[in-house]
Chain A
Amino acid sequence: MMIRRGLATVAAAMSATLVLAACGGEDSKDDKSPVSLRMTVWTANKPHLQLFNDIAAEYMKTHPEVKEIKFDPLPFESYSTALTTQMTGGNAPDLAWVFEKDAADFVSSGALVPLDDTLKQTSGYQYEDLIPSTTKLWKSDDKLYAYPFSTSPFGVFVNRDLLKQAGQQTPDELAKAGKWDWTTVLAEGAEVHRSTGKAGLVIRDFEYKEWSNAATFWGGWKAEPWSADGKTCTFNSTPMVDAMTTLHKGIFEDKAMPGPGETADFFTGDAAMTITQISRASLLENAKFDWDLVPLPAGPAGDYSVIGQAGVGVVKRGGHTKQAKDFLAYFTNPENSAKLAAYFPPPRESQLTAENLAKTNPLLKNEQLESVVVNGVKKGVVKPGHAGQAELAQRVRAGLDPLWTPNANVKGVLDDLCKNISPLLEK
Chain B
Amino acid sequence: MNRKIPLRTRVALYGLLCVLAIPFVFPTWWMVTSSFKPIADIFSYPPKLFPTNPTFSAYKDVFDGRPFVQQYVNSLYIAALVTAGTMIVSSLAGYAFARIKFRGQNALFLVVLVGLLIPSEVTIVPLFQMFNDLGLVDTHWPLILVPIFGAPSVMATFIMRQFFISLPNELEEAARIDGIGYFGTFWRIALPLAKPALGAVAIFTFLQSWNLYLEPVVYLSSPEMFTLPQALTQYVDSYGGAMWNVQLAAASLTAVPVLVVFVIAQKQFIEGLAHTGLK
Contact = CB atoms under 8 A, between A and B. Distances in A.
A18 interface: yes
A21 B233 contact: no
A89 to B, nearest CB: 8
A177 interface: no
Contact of B221 (A5, A85, A263, A269): A85
A14 B238 contact: no
Contact of A21 (B128, B230, B244): B128
A263 B217 contact: no
B217 A12 contact: yes
A76 B43 CA distance: 22
Interface string B187-230: 00000000000000000000000000110011101000000001
Given A18-B125, A75-B233, A265-B43, A48 B238 contact: yes
Given A1-B242, A4-B247, A265-B43, A18 B218 contact: yes
A18 B219 CA distance: 9
B94 to A, nearest CB: 32
A1 B239 CA distance: 12
Contacts of B233: 4, 7-8, 11, 75
Interface in A376-427: none
B236 A15 contact: no
A42 interface: yes
B40 interface: yes
B129 A22 contact: yes
Contacts of A263: 43
Given A4-B247, A21-B129, A268-B43, A15 B221 contact: yes
B137 to A, nearest CB: 8
B132 interface: yes
Contacts of A44: 65, 236-238
A86 interface: yes
B168 interface: no
Nearest to A48: B238
Contacts of B217: 11-12, 14-15
B278 interface: no
A274 to B, nearest CB: 13
B128 A76 contact: no
Contacts of B104: none
A120 interface: no
B234 interface: yes
A269 B239 contact: no
A23 interface: yes
Contact of A75 (B43, B65, B219, B234): B234
Contacts of B221: 15, 82, 85-86, 89, 91
Contact of B236 (A75, A82, A86, A265): A75
B156 to A, nearest CB: 26
Interface string A129-164: 000000000000000000000000000000000000
A279 B125 CA distance: 39
A103 to B, nearest CB: 18
A283 B218 CA distance: 33
- Residue of A1, A42, A76 ringed by the most chain B CB atoms within 10 A: A76
Interface in B224-270: 230, 233-234, 236-242, 244, 247
B174 interface: no
A346 to B, nearest CB: 18
A11 B236 contact: no
B236 A76 contact: yes
A21 B125 contact: yes
A45 interface: yes
Nearest to A16: B218
A63 interface: no
Given A7-B233, A44-B238, A22 B124 contact: no
Interface in A53-107: 75-77, 82, 85-86, 89, 91
Interface in B85-136: 124-125, 128-129, 132-133
Given A76-B236, A76-B239, A11 B214 contact: yes
A46 interface: yes
B39 interface: yes
7 contacts: A4-B247, A18-B128, A23-B132, A77-B236, A77-B240, A86-B221, A280-B239
Given A14-B214, A15-B219, 18 more contacts: A1-B244, A11-B217, A11-B218, A11-B233, A12-B217, A14-B124, A14-B217, A15-B218, A19-B128, A19-B137, A22-B133, A44-B237, A45-B237, A45-B238, A76-B238, A76-B239, A89-B221, A91-B221
Interface of A: 1, 4-5, 7-8, 11-12, 14-15, 17-19, 21-23, 42-46, 48, 75-77, 82, 85-86, 89, 91, 263, 265, 268-270, 277, 279-280, 283
A-B pairs with the 4 shortest C-beta distances?
Answer: A76-B240, A43-B238, A45-B238, A11-B217
